[in-house]
């Protein structure tokens, strides 16, 4: 299928994945120049109604969502005999591959990944979609570190038939990560997805899945009856607060888990705060530690002149050392502010007050345009003044109408398109009375719905002016004359003449006088000069 062109737009380049249900190809979107992923239902399954239903369900679920932590649906194939879906292409690895490479992840990294998975699930749940198959294989990490949840192939829409045509006893999801209620064949809920996130977080922190078994039945029974080994037995460096969140997420009873993805994400955020673990320690634990006995020594020999001198040196060093630490940790260091949810302009003002430099990346999302949806440093993280904080800013939905740009300057049009993640391409400049840089036409037209990253082609005005008559003028004066009518002096060539009255004057020009041209057009000149004098021949001097 390599080289096949779909819908006159998507050219298949490479097969990049295959599962039990579908094959995935990387393709080039000829309209935008961007890479996309095209997912085909396997040929041998296209006659199977159950798998066709799952494939359509994935399209339905994906079409309900547009979120920066979800692999967004871009298009749906128009071939009923060979259905396919077009998704954004994520250039990176699965979380499963990353765990396999590292064994386990640092606590902060693991928690931040989990929070982003929960952000995706919050959006899905609010859209009435239960994923039912959260696992590291379905979490993608791109080369910039963005997290994307994929594969809603067995998702359930809560406002439709709860069984989706499946039997009550069918078990949906991956056995290492599905919830006790899924193991019993019951209907999955939002709490089921949170249990799966708990399994994924457990694996990130410990390098091991919560339960291991030789058969799917034995694994399912463990989800129903067994407790996993405590996180801190396998990873002592994990804080008690983070381990407590994992424990709550893995509760057998759905009612004992977090009520929502948002509240679980908040609990993880709070668990990273340094004082959280201190609250878990009790005063009785502290009292059980024996107090050291202090022996008082009164020998005069300790207060010798040498000791006093050394003490003075230590104190002096302490003053300078303390001053350095204050500068490093207080004067030149601040705490990363919470900017998520701010509008970009307000976020920049807030950051600049602390001396933080802002860089912006834009991503499609369901949040309003210019809303900050993510930041590269977590809230409260120490950051030096002058350091760069990357803000991910919403560019609006993944599909959006093209705004009207006619009559605007190209710089205003560029800024307006960048805000909503559309690209600008000036394809032509026309001589026109409108001020230079004014948009004269656009393609696609205003109101056309396009994908994020699409290119909007513009024809703009080159301005218009009339070439003045320069023939007969002293050529050194022409630069000022041209500047006044928004033209520039071009090439200057020389024409020799014996007429000394013409030397230094313009003989001809191109474009000619009276011609209408665009602003900043160069005007080439031919200028009269004196003939070059032959150089004397030294061989003829003095005769021979």
Instruction: Give buried/exposed letters for 377-396 (b at 16+ CB in 10 A, else e).
Output: beeeeebeeeeebbbbbbbb
Residues in the chain: 544
Q: Which of 461, 460, 456, 478 lies closest to 469, judged by CA?
A: 478
- 438 phi, psi to nearest 5 deg: -75, 135
CA distances from 441 to 391, 427, 452 (A): 33, 10, 21
Q: Is the dihedral of CA 114, 115, 119, 122 positive or negative?
A: positive
Give the pairing of strands 522-529 and 488-496.
Answer: parallel
- Residue 133 a catalytic site member: yes
Task: List the catalytic residue out of 75, 133, 374, 451.
Answer: 133
Structure tokens at 74: 């871009």
> How far apart are the C-alpha atoms of 104 and 110, rounded to whole Å?
9
Adjacent-strand bridge partners of 73: 87
Report the distance separating Cα 224 and Cα 183, nearest Å.
7
Does residue 36 contact residue 89 with C-beta atoms inside 8 Å?
yes
- Print burial letters for 52-76: b (CB count within 10 Å at least 16), e (below 16): eebbebbbbbbebbbbbbbbbbbbe
Question: HEC states along 84-103?
Answer: EEEEECCCEEEHHHHHHHHC
For residue 395, give the nearest of 359, 358, 375, 370 by alpha carbon. 370
Please name the residues in contact with 374: beta carbons below 8 A apart, sequence gap of 6 or more: 68, 116, 340, 363, 391, 392
Nearest CA-CA partner of 456 in 445, 466, 472: 445
Alpha helices (H) in 10-91, listed in sequence order: 49-63
Report which of 435, 300, 328 is spatially closest to residue 384, judged by C-alpha positions: 328
361 beta partners: 392
Look-up of token digits 């007429």 = 499
- Rg of the chain on CA atoms, in Å: 35
How many angstroms separate the most distant Cα atoms in the chain?
A: 124
Enzyme catalytic residues: 133
């Amino acid at each position: 299928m390599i080289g096949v062109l779909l819908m006159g737009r998507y050219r298949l380049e490479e097969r990049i994945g295959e599962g039990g249900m579908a094959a995935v190809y990387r393709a080039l979107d000829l309209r935008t120049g961007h890479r996309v992923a095209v997912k085909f239902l396997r040929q041998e399954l296209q006659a199977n109604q159950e798998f066709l239903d799952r494939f359509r369900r994935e399209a339905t679920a994906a079409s309900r969502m547009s979120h920066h932590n979800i692999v967004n649906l871009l298009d749906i194939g128009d071939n009923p005999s060979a259905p396919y879906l077009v998704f954004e292409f994520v250039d990176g690895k699965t979380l499963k591959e990353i765990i396999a490479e590292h064994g386990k992840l640092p606590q902060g990294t693991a928690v931040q990944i989990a929070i982003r998975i929960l952000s995706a699930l919050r959006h899905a749940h609010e859209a009435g979609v239960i994923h039912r198959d959260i696992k590291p294989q379905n979490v993608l990490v791109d080369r910039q570190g963005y997290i994307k949840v994929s594969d809603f192939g067995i998702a359930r829409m809560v406002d439709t038939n709860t069984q989706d045509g499946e039997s009550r006893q069918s078990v949906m999801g991956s056995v290492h990560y599905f919830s006790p209620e899924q193991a019993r064949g019951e209907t999955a809920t939002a709490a089921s997805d949170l249990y799966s996130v708990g399994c994924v977080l457990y694996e990130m922190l410990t390098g091991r899945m919560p339960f291991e078994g030789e058969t799917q039945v034995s694994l399912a029974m463990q989800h129903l009856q067994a407790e996993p080994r405590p996180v801190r037995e396998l990873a002592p460096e994990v804080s008690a607060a983070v381990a407590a969140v994992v424990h709550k997420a893995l509760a057998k009873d759905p009612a004992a888990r977090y009520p929502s993805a948002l509240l679980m994400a908040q609990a993880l955020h709070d668990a990273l705060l340094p004082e959280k673990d201190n609250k878990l320690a009790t005063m009785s634990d502290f009292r059980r530690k024996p107090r050291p006995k202090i022996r008082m020594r009164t020998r005069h020999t300790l207060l010798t002149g040498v000791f006093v001198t050394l003490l003075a040196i230590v104190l002096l060093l302490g003053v300078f050392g303390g001053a350095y630490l204050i500068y490093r940790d207080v004067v030149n260091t601040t705490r990363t502010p919470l900017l998520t949810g701010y509008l970009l302009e307000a976020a920049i003002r807030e950051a600049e007050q602390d001396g933080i430099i802002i860089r912006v990346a834009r991503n499609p999302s369901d949040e309003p345009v210019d809303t900050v949806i993510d930041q590269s440093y977590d809230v409260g993280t120490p950051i030096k003044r002058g350091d760069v904080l990357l803000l991910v800013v919403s560019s609006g939905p993944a599909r959006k109408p093209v705004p009207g740009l006619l009559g605007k300057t190209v710089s205003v049009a560029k800024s307006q398109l960048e805000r909503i993640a559309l690209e600008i391409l000036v394809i032509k400049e026309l001589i026109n009375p409108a001020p230079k840089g004014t948009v004269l036409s656009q393609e696609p037209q205003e109101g056309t719905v396009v994908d994020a990253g699409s290119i909007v082609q513009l024809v703009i005005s080159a301005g218009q002016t009339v070439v003045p008559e320069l023939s007969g003028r002293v050529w050194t004066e022409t630069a000022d004359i041209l500047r006044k009518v928004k033209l520039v002096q071009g090439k200057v060539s020389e024409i020799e003449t014996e007429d000394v009255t013409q030397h230094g004057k313009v003989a001809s020009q191109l474009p000619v006088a009276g011609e209408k041209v665009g602003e900043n057009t160069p005007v080439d000149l031919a200028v009269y000069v004196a003939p070059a004098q032959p150089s004397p021949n030294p061989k003829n001097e003095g005769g021979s």
